[in-house]
Structures are given as structure tokens and as C-alpha cells.
A and B are shown apart, each in its own frame.
Chain A
Amino acid sequence: DIQLTQSPSFLSASLGDRVTITCRASQGISNNLAWYQQMPGKAPKLLIYAASTLQSGVPSRFSGSGSGTEFTLTITSLQPEDFASYYCQQLNAYPITFGQGTRLEIK
């Protein structure tokens, strides 16, 4: 199985901050990576697919980059609704796997 390791697992930040979450794959996955946001008690929401393509309706303060084994999700100018958990997902090979998650909390 391809393992995805997110860092950090926990992140404390303030409104207006710029934050970056990293996802490292245990082997190369090209750009076959997605990022999801999950609010407490809710289903995940797709933010970015193909490593860097912003899903329709997602604010432009979210961006993704990377290829191969290292990927990043960046959120510029944090808004109150951004404090949530974030997961990366690879679909380069079965079984599909997710990172362990990053919890973003308000400082």
C-alpha cells in the first residue's frame, strides 16, 4: 500500500495567517493526489484534485502543488471557516489511501 504522511498533524494559526500542510507519499504517485477539508460531524469536501486543480467553488486562497512524492496544500489569509481537518488522498494505485489528517485550529 502507498502510505501518505501528513505534517504537521496539528496546526495552530491565527486569522489572516498563511499555512502550509505537507503530504509525503511512500512512493511516487505522479500528480494523482487530492486534498479534502472536513468540518466536525460532516463529510469531507474535495478542495483540490490532480495535485493542483482547484475544485469549482473553492476559494482561491486554497492552492496545491507538488508531484511525485511531495505535495503541499497552502491556505493564504485564513478565514474562520477554514479551521477544520485536512486530508490528502492518493489514487495512483489501489488500495486508495488517505493521509492521517491535519487538524487546523485557531490560535
Chain B
Amino acid sequence: QVQLQESGPGLVKPSETLSLTCTVSGESVTSGDYYWSWIRQPAGKGLEWIGRVEINGNTEYNPSLKSRITMSIDRSKKQFSLKLNSVTAADTAVYYCARGYRGSYYFNWGQGTLVTVSS
């Protein structure tokens, strides 16, 4: 049974870079069947898709965030990561990592991690 776990700082200063890692356990990340994704949710609001990375390094990003995002994957560590630069208070949210299958149906999610942007 695959499990995903987000990790990273819970507090980031405005204009700095938010960096999160998702560690995958229980299964390999090397299958090309999956899209390794990030989704966020501001408090009391809906879900926003950030983007995804495949095992071959291909990425797809939300155009609204594309200029600020970098995603990568490390198969040896069974981790994938998100970097979001030039953050503002609007980036404060719970960030989820998720595994997409059959074209990004999200069968598996991490528990989520709250990132607050504040000085």
C-alpha cells in the first residue's frame, strides 16, 4: 500500500522560496503509469492543482503559477519535490502531494502540510 508524506518548513518569509518534499513508501516511483503531483488548499477554500512530474522528468504546471514553480523527482530516494519562489501571503495553504493514475485521478494523497507565508 503506497503512502505519501510531505515535509518541509511550515513558515516561509515573503519573497523567499517554499520548498517541499514528498516521500513515497510502500511502492516504487519508477513506474511510468503515475503522475506525481502537488495540490494546495488555502484555509476554508477549495483545491488548486499546482502541477505534476513524471518519472522521466516531464512536468506540467498550472499556468497561474508556472513562472514560479519547479518540480523534480529523485527515484533513488523515492521522493519528489516542489519549489515555489517569490512567495506571498496568497501562497499560504495546506500543500498536498498526490499520486495520479489514469491521467491524474488522485487515488493516493499525503496527509498535507500547512505552509504559512509571513515575516
* A-to-B contact residues, CB < 8 Å: 1, 32, 34, 36, 42-46, 49-50, 55, 87, 89, 91, 94-101
B110 proximity list for chain A (CB < 8 A) = 43
List chain A residues, Cβ under 8 A from B111: 42-43
Most chain B C-beta atoms within 10 Å of own C-beta, residue among A34, A42, A43:
A43
Task: Say yes or no: A34 contacts B49, CB within 8 Å.
Answer: no
B86 at the interface (CB under 8 A from A): no
Nearest CB to that of B97 among chain A residues?
A: A43
Interface residues of B in 64-119 (CB under 8 A from A): 64, 96, 98, 102-107, 109-112
Can you name 26 A-B pairs with beta carbons within 8 Å?
A1-B63, A32-B103, A34-B106, A36-B47, A36-B106, A42-B111, A44-B47, A44-B96, A44-B106, A45-B109, A46-B107, A49-B105, A89-B47, A91-B103, A91-B104, A95-B60, A95-B62, A95-B64, A96-B49, A96-B104, A97-B49, A98-B47, A98-B48, A99-B46, A101-B46, A101-B47
Of all chain B residues, the one with the shortest Cβ separation from A99 is B46
**Distance A94 CA – B63 CA, assembled complex (angstroms):** 9
What bracket does the count of chain B residues touching chain A fall in? 20 to 34
Bound together, the chains give a CA A49 to CA B107 distance in angstroms of: 9
CB pair A98–B49 under 8 Å, yes or no, is: yes
| Complex CA distance for A32 and B109, rounded to whole angstroms | 19
Closest residue of chain B to A1 (Cβ to Cβ) is B63
